[in-house]
Amino acid sequence: MLATKRVLTALALTLFAHEARAADEVVVYSSRIDELIKPVFDAYTAKTGVPIKFITDKEAPLMQRIKAEGEHATADLLLTVDAGNLWQAEQMGILQPIQSSVIDANIPPQYRAAGRDWTGLSLRARTIAYSSDRVKPEQLSTYEALADSQWEGRLCLRTAKKVYNQSLTATLIETHGAPQTETILKGWVNNLSTDVFSDDIAVLQAIKAGQCDVGIVNTYYYGRLHRQDPQLPIKLFWPNQGDRGVHVNLSGIGLTRHAPHPEAAKALVEWMTGPEAQKIFADTNQEFPANPHVQPSAEVASWGSFKADTLPVEVAGKRQAEAIRLMDRAGWN
Ligand code: FE
């Protein structure tokens, strides 16, 4: 009888604690498509009772809004893509570090800010896509080799204005230095079959249409198109397997400097780096989990495994301005 009473008391306390926590909502400013994040937030609310409000916009206005709100912040967390963007947010001083042994254990250091202002949540490789009709994988080797004359008039690229290409270029500068990177970029521009495209899907469609034979795209765009068109005559190639590996970038999240609910926000981020959330989050957009203990979906795994560049992704931010200047000099629009 006494034991039952104790259990009931414990249960009541648990429920009380649960209620108390439920009062603390978390507000997320997100630049990701609603469909990609809603399943994760719904799962968290179902599990903990903590409501999550999210506001979706492009990263630049969201970052400006956080800055403008200052101490009267409404957002607890900023969720966006590309280390280049997260690094910008860090430089603007709108984030603050989260000290968490849970996050440290879940996410490898190269996918987090050294100062802990943000952490990666999912990974995407920016890799080579090629026409399986007109290109043999043996003809491919590295990003750098796409500057070779064998690809003259056969390469498609997305615009240099997109942060994804700026981040890739930043890693080239880190690896080779600016002069050699400029030569590589000039080679790419020289090999273009047509004007640059505004998005990765357009690059893939151009390869499919025979406008070009090779391009550089984020893996999940390939996944998206492949899902619509299982006969897609395009394959992914993992470059630089003999040296530094494939360029990997991420989506990530950071705690805002004046977050109104920092503890609740921290608990959410910790959960988002754990197995349950990682699975939902990565699978929804056909990305790779940033937590290496979580397996990618069967579909993503079917693209094959690869060696990824272990350069800290922060380099994308640190060298972003330099990358933009070099791309401009090389004539990459
Ligand atoms: Fe994207």
Q: Where residue 13 falls among pLDDT bands split at 50, 70, 90? A: very low
Q: Where residue 137 falls among pLDDT bands split at 50, 70, 90? A: very high
List the structure tokens of 275: 């197995």
Which pLDDT belongs to residue 23? 57
Q: Where residue 174 falls among pLDDT bands split at 50, 70, 90? A: very high
The candidate with the shortest Cα–Cα distance to 279, out of 289, 266, 293, 269, is: 289
Percent over 70 (pLDDT), the chain: 93
Residue 10 has pLDDT above 90, yes or no: no
What are the φ/ψ torsions at residue 26 (nearest 5 degrees)?
-125, 135
Residues forming a β-bridge with 96? 255
Using the mean position of ligand 1's atoms as its centre, give its distance from the Cα of residue 71 in Å: 31
The candidate with the shortest Cα–Cα distance to 66, out of 83, 86, 51, 81, is: 86
What's the rounded mean pLDDT across residues 40-69?
Answer: 97
- Tell me: the pLDDT tens digits for 230-267? 999 999 999 999 999 999 999 999 999 999 999 999 99
138 exposed, middle or buried (CB, 10 Å; 0-12, 13-18, 19+)?
exposed
pTM beyond 0.75, yes or no: yes
Mean pLDDT over each residue of the chain, to the nearest integer: 94
Using the mean position of ligand 1's atoms as its centre, give its distance from the Cα of residue 204 in Å: 14
9 vs 304: which has the higher pLDDT? 304
Which pLDDT belongs to residue 15? 46
Using the mean position of ligand 1's atoms as its centre, give its distance from the Cα of residue 199 in Å: 8
- The domain ranges of the chain are 2-122+250-294, 124-247+309-329
Alpha helices per DSSP H over 210-290:
219-228, 262-272, 275-284
Using the mean position of ligand 1's atoms as its centre, give its distance from the Cα of residue 201 in Å: 10
Using the mean position of ligand 1's atoms as its centre, give its distance from the Cα of residue 233 in Å: 22
Residue 3 has pLDDT above 90, yes or no: no
Percent over 90 (pLDDT), the chain: 93
Using the mean position of ligand 1's atoms as its centre, give its distance from the Cα of residue 81 in Å: 7
Residue 302 has pLDDT above 90, yes or no: yes
Superfamily (CATH H level) for 124-247+309-329: Periplasmic binding protein-like II (3.40.190.10)
Residue 83 has pLDDT above 60, yes or no: yes
CATH topology of domain 2-122+250-294: D-Maltodextrin-Binding Protein; domain 2 (3.40.190)
Q: Where residue 30 falls among pLDDT bands split at 50, 70, 90? A: very high
Which pLDDT belongs to residue 24? 84
CA–CA separation, 317 and 300 (whole Å): 27
Lowest mean per-residue pLDDT among 17-26, 42-51, 177-186? 17-26
Residue 11 has pLDDT above 60, yes or no: no
Residue 21 has pLDDT above 70, yes or no: no
Using the mean position of ligand 1's atoms as its centre, give its distance from the Cα of residue 250 in Å: 10
